[in-house]
Structure 1
Amino acid sequence: MATTSKVSTKVATKTGTKKDGKLAAAPSKDLEAKDKDAGGTRRKQAERRAESMQKILDCAETNFAKLGFYGVTLNDIAQQCEVQTALIRYYYDDKRALLDAVLTRRSVVINEIRLRVLRDYEAAAGDNMTIEGLLGAYLDPVVDIMSNGGEGWRTFGTLVAQIGTLPAWGGGGDILRDYFDPVIRVFLPMLRRLATGVGEEDLYWYYHLLSGALSMSLAQTGLIDRFSGGLCKSTDMRSIGKHLIGVYTAGFNALPRKRVKSRVRG
């Protein structure tokens, strides 16, 4: 006796799926709308998260620049941002991690620009590099972004200047090393190439003084405004850049040099 087995057939249609002779309902427009709403909600949540993190970084940057890392607490920053301290800890864990996030946000931008400008100058000038041209490649990106980047970049400059004067973070610490050494390590060998006959000690002192002048300028303390009776402004980065290049070009050319004896073939 033959046994007839039931065969389940599935037929795809535009409206649904036919299974075991029954037509399954197609996805409703309501479900599709819910999917879209869910996607929109996720996007809105991501946007709110990004806005919240940006606001926290802005507040932290301002407070660190004005009061110093040790002069402000996470509670202070939270109060200014009008958020819960727990939210800051959720995003950034602790105050040092928050400082790292503040520095990373802008340092990656300015470092990329400075490294590109230095390497472009080196490639274009080759053996015809000059100290004036090299100083321009080193300083101009900072001058440009401090002049045109808005209040946030000026605040960042003040923060960087402050960090650069703290022994715990300058020589032995990791803040300057992690965020700013990459540019210095490209600049110094280029400077060395131009410094024929200049001793290593003199060259490093030259860089030390250049770095100090730049840091003082980034701080925008207003001292020169007062001393000059308003003739000069500590926020006038264009003038600062021009005078830094002029003064340190002359200073470089005045560095003591050992005479290199040339061999005369007989």
Structure 2
Amino acid sequence: MDKTKSTKDLILDAAEKLFAIRGFYGVSIRQITTEAGVDPALASYHFGKKQDIFNAVMLRRAEILNRERIQMLDDCIRRAKPNPAPLHEIIDAFTHALLNRSNKGGEGWKSYFAIIAQINNHPELGGVIMTQYFDPLAKKFIAAIQATMPGSQAEDLYWCYHFLSGALTLTFSGTERISNLSGGLCHAKNLDAVHERLVPFITAGFEAFKNPS
């Protein structure tokens, strides 16, 4: 047990690790508290039910991510005034914090992104949880893109965002799919290589729907 951490953080760290490996339905409160090295009663005392622990896991890092991404977006909008922010800078603001946290933030962030990847692809949990924690942020970014692409159709931009979300989900899923597919030429853990390519790729996808005839 890490004595420098609070009981609540120990429980959240353990839950995050186990949810990333086994998914929400594959983990019990007792398994979480055993991993955390605390009495099972403390999980109920601090959080309540397993769903409450999961919500706390989601919220803890979502607040950090959303704050960093909004700050980057606001910065690029401010720099560009009185013109709209460049599209590639908006996309970078949306993706950079995730790449940076996954690359340098430690195993907890990697576990968190693995949970996001699972949830984003879950027919029951995805719509509810992603809507709850990330829709206000997503709509702010889509509004900024609309300002940069005034001739575009809202329907196209929402689809483009959907595809962006899918690309991020696969990138942070923790699988070695790209490593295996490329025969080792590309490595899933090489997030610097991801960042070099992800923003230009996504930017080009949005630009394909700019000022449609």
TM over 0.5: yes
CA distance in 1, matches of 2:212, 2:131: 32
Listed one character per residue, the Cα deviations across residues 16-50 of structure 1 (whole Å, up to 9, x for unaligned) are xxxxxxxxxxxxxxxxxxxxxxxxxxxxxxx9695
1:220 to 156, 174, 178: 174
Q: Per the alignment, in what secondary structure is the counterpart of residue 257 of structure 1? A: coil
Q: Residue 240 and residue 257 in structure 1: after superposition, are their counterparts in 2 closer, same or farther (change >3 A)?
A: same
1:253 paired residue number: 207
CA distance in 2, matches of 1:252, 1:134: 11
1:93 to 48, 70, 73: 48
1:140 paired residue number: 96
1:59 positional shift: 0.7
Taking the TM superposition and a 5 Å limit, the aligned residue runs for 1:94-243 are 94-126=49-81, 127-171=83-127, 173=128, 175-243=129-197
1:195 positional shift: 2.1
1:149 positional shift: 0.7
Does the alignment pair 1:81 with 2:23? no
Amino acid at match of 1:96: Q
CA distance in 2, matches of 1:128, 1:82: 51
CA distance in 1, matches of 2:212, 2:68: 35
CA distance in 1, matches of 2:100, 2:120: 21
Listed one character per residue, the Cα deviations across residues 198-238 of structure 1 (whole Å, up to 9, x for unaligned) are 22222211111011101111112111111112221212222
- Give the TM-score normalised by structure 2: 0.91
More helix per residue: 1 or 2?
Answer: 2
2:17 paired residue number: 62
Amino acid at match of 1:151: E
Q: Per the alignment, in what secondary structure is the counterpart of residue 6 of structure 2? A: helix
CA distance in 2, matches of 1:181, 1:202: 17
In structure 1, the gaps of 5 or more residues are 1-46, 260-266
Q: Residue 176 and residue 106 in structure 1: after superposition, are their counterparts in 2 closer, same or farther (change >3 A)?
A: same
Amino acid at match of 1:60: A
Amino acid at match of 1:142: L
Q: Residue 253 and residue 185 in structure 1: after superposition, are their counterparts in 2 closer, same or farther (change >3 A)?
A: closer
1:193 positional shift: 1.3
CA distance in 2, matches of 1:153, 1:166: 20
CA distance in 2, matches of 1:82, 1:241: 37
Listed one character per residue, the Cα deviations across residues 81-136 of structure 1 (whole Å, up to 9, x for unaligned) are 23222121111111011011111221111111111111111111121522112111
CA distance in 2, matches of 1:258, 1:163: 34
Q: Per the alignment, in what secondary structure is the counterpart of residue 44 of structure 2? A: helix
Runs of 4+ in 1 over 3 A off after TM superposition: 47-50, 256-259
CA distance in 2, matches of 1:49, 1:144: 25
CA distance in 1, matches of 2:95, 2:103: 12
Larger radius of gyration: 1
CA distance in 1, matches of 2:110, 2:130: 18
1:79 positional shift: 2.1
1:264 paired residue number: none
CA distance in 1, matches of 2:212, 2:58: 41
